[in-house]
Amino acid sequence: MADLLIPATETPGAKAVRVDEFIDRIVAEWLSPEERAGFLSGLDAVDTRTQSLFQKNFVDATAAQQAEILRALGAELAAALDAVADGPRGYRGSAPEPEDNFYLTFRQLVLTGYFTSEPGFTRQLHDEIIPGRFNGCIPGAKSQ
């Protein structure tokens, strides 16, 4: 699923930078038991949805079928965000809680895992993990 969100192009995709392993570790070691159960329930719901539409598990579905499932999840997330924007004044500005929306949590984990990896950070964001040498005591040019 992560590789569908960030596929390989001229930069590595989510699978190449091992985002799946990052998500496994976060789910196993960082999420509370309730959050973990919610996340795993969300994964089961993706399989259930894929089974009802295509009579196969998500991993066995074609790339087009998998993309259709992710588009549907994205549309549901967008509808939830629109409901927040259209809600009463005291409710505005509050995004859906991640534990209430599997796809929101999943996307956050994929993006965090990808952009904190060395290839994601250096090749996609074009930034340096450890900046170059700083020499603060150099003579200035005559124009300075």
Single out the residue of 42, 9, 48 nearest to residue 23, CA to CA. Answer: 42
- pLDDT value at residue 101: 82
Section 21-50 average pLDDT: 94
Asked whether the predicted pLDDT for residue 114 surpasses 80, the reply is: yes
| Radius of gyration, alpha carbons of the chain | 20
Asked whether the predicted pLDDT for residue 95 surpasses 60, the reply is: no
Per-residue pLDDT tens for 37-91?
999 999 999 999 999 999 999 999 999 999 999 999 999 988 887 776 666 655 5
Single out the residue of 99, 103, 121 nearest to residue 112, CA to CA. Answer: 121
Residue 109: pLDDT band by 50, 70, 90 thresholds? very high
- 9 by DSSP, 3-state: which? coil
- DSSP-derived letter for residue 99 is G
- How far is Cα 99 from Cα 21, in angstroms, rounded to an integer? 20
